[in-house]
Amino acid sequence: MIFPKATISEIIGLLEVVNDSGGIEDAARLAADFDLELDEILPSIDGAELLGFVRVADGNVELTVDARNLLETGIRDRKKIIRDKVAGVGIIKELTSKLMESDERKISKKETLKFLQDKIATADIESYFRIIINWTRHAGLIGYNSDSEEICLM
Amino acid sequence: MLAEIKNVSKTYESDGNKIQVLDSINFAVEDNDFICIVGPSGCGKSTLLRIIVGLEKPTSGEVFFKGEVIAPDNPKVAMVFQNFALFPWLTVKENIELVLESKKQGEEAEKVACKYIKAVGLDNFERVYPRELSGGMKQRVGFARALAVEPVLLCMDEPFSSLDALTSQNLKDELLMLWADTSMPPDAVIMVTHNVEEAVYMANRIIILSPRPGKIVADLKIELERPRNRKDPEFYRWVDKVYSLIV
């Protein structure tokens, strides 16, 4: 599988920009608006789609009802919506289950990287680890302690 | 009146040459002002901001805050920096608590830090070190740290320019949400930016400086309703207007 390499902030930023265009916008035009190449904005589009915030068809990116609800709420309530969405992402569900089954609900970073490597075929698994932790921390699901190099349930 | 910038000029000396960067800057800051200072590169925007917060002295003129000459340790004025300026060996929470040290200790400091951590959406990141944060999250720490001192005047020097375009859009919107919340500090904001579109998006007042030495060319009240839409033709008329005054 491919996991989108975009932070939660980038994904919400994308939703705000699409919202400014009336809720639907051509992906190439979105990129051009920010002087970006299409492949620079695609991870954010893929991330928004994975979280159920946009539908992508015929090169157009369209906000879903969930995205509109997210944009209408304040910072605190956004966190709750993000939590529900991130909790439903397959690889994060699997990682959460793995943590639930583990001793003390902690797993070493080394073991986590191995788990992710089996799911995401990439030579750069470390950057995917950072992105997944960015999502799960935002959601209050899984944290990472860089001193002990362990991930844990929050 | 909250602050007054009175006849501020600044000249630097380098190898015996005098370089004037600011020339007779005058303006007042009122409650509820969200001022963006824009102008061409090198026009002295950031120097002016540093003078306003008291980090630099003007060659002539003065800055008054609530009638008193500004001091660099004024607890009612806070600053957000372009490069975040976080201590890498401290966690998110410790970075915020550090600025409270002189005013609040122990549980009280923790309570205030937690309030602003939550306000900017940093909860769950309290014990994280800056090296583990994305640029957007680092600047959220910058905002929380500045807000934690509960400033009356918040000064920001290009706070979004180190961020990618989408993260920057997200942070601008969240900062405007905090600004719209009247229970939150500050009472006024001065933000320096080189980005005209950003200034029109954020400000209710734009001060335009000339090329060096920076003089005030215009002081515009931005009469656009919030939330603003970058695709709105009226928005673009304002962007064009500001550009035409800079070029």
Q: A75 and B121 in contact by Cβ < 8 A?
A: yes
pLDDT of residue B190: 98
Q: What angle do CA B141, A99, A120 make, to 5 degrees?
A: 80
Query: Residues B158-214: pLDDT tens digits?
Result: 999 999 999 999 999 999 999 999 999 999 999 999 999 999 999 999 999 999 999
Tell me the HSE value of B138 on the side-chain side, using a 13 A CA sphere: 22
Tokens 């800056």 found at: B130
The Cα A76–Cα A78 span in angstroms is: 5
Q: If you measure CA to CA, which chain B residue comes closest to A144?
A: B128
Average pLDDT of the segment spanning B117-137 = 94
Cα distance from N-terminal residue to C-terminal residue, chain A:
26
**Strand, coil or helix: what is B87?**
coil
The Cα A67–Cα B50 span in angstroms is: 40
Q: Please give the model's pTM, rounded to 2 decimal places.
A: 0.94
pLDDT of residue B198: 97
Query: Residues A121-152: pLDDT tens digits?
Result: 888 999 999 999 999 999 999 999 999 999 99
CA dihedral A12, B124, B185, B182 (to 10 degrees): 60
Q: Give the fold, CATH level 3, of A8-71.
A: Arc Repressor Mutant, subunit A (1.10.10)
Stretch(es) of chain A classified as CATH 1.10.10.10: 8-71
Chain A nearest CA to B229, separation (Å)? 6
CATH number of B3-76+187-246, picked from 1.10.150.170, 1.10.287.3510, 3.30.70.20, 3.40.50.300: 3.40.50.300
Domain ranges of chain B: 3-76+187-246
Average pLDDT of the segment spanning B26-52 = 96
- Preceding omega of B211 cis (within 30 degrees of 0): no
Burial class, A135, CB count within 10 angstroms (exposed 0-12 / middle 13-18 / buried 19+):
buried
Lowest mean pLDDT among A65-69, A104-108, B4-8, B236-240: A104-108
pLDDT of residue A61: 98
**Strand, coil or helix: what is A145?**
strand
pLDDT of residue A5: 94
**ipTM, 2 dp:** 0.93
Burial class, B197, CB count within 10 angstroms (exposed 0-12 / middle 13-18 / buried 19+):
middle
Average pLDDT of the segment spanning B72-95 = 93
pLDDT of residue A29: 94
pLDDT of residue B95: 96
**CB–CB of A83/A46 below 8 Å?**
no
- Preceding omega of B88 cis (within 30 degrees of 0): no
A34 CB neighbours in chain B (<8 A) are 165-166
Q: Is B169 on the interface with A (CB under 8 A)?
A: yes
Band the pLDDT of A1: cuts 50, 70, 90. Answer: low
Q: Return the bridge partners of B78, or none.
A: B154
Query: Residues A9-46: pLDDT tens digits?
Result: 999 999 999 999 999 999 999 999 888 899 999 999 99
- Structurally, at CATH architecture level, domain A83-153 sits in Orthogonal Bundle (1.10)
A17 CB neighbours in chain B (<8 A) are 166, 169, 230
When scoring B89, B133, B162, B170 by the number of chain A Cβ atoms within 10 A, the one with the most, hence best to mutate, is: B170
B128 CB neighbours in chain A (<8 A) are 137, 144, 146
Q: Examine the pLDDT at A83 and tell me if it is beyond 80.
A: yes
**Strand, coil or helix: what is A115?**
helix
Q: Is B176 on the interface with A (CB under 8 A)?
A: no
State chain B's mean pLDDT as an integer.
94
> Residues near B195 by Cβ (< 8 Å), separated by ≥ 6?
B38, B160, B161
pLDDT of residue B119: 95
Chain B nearest CA to A128, separation (Å)? 13
pLDDT of residue A50: 97
A134 CB neighbours in chain B (<8 A) are 134, 137
Q: What angle do CA B103, B107, B112 make, to 5 degrees?
A: 60
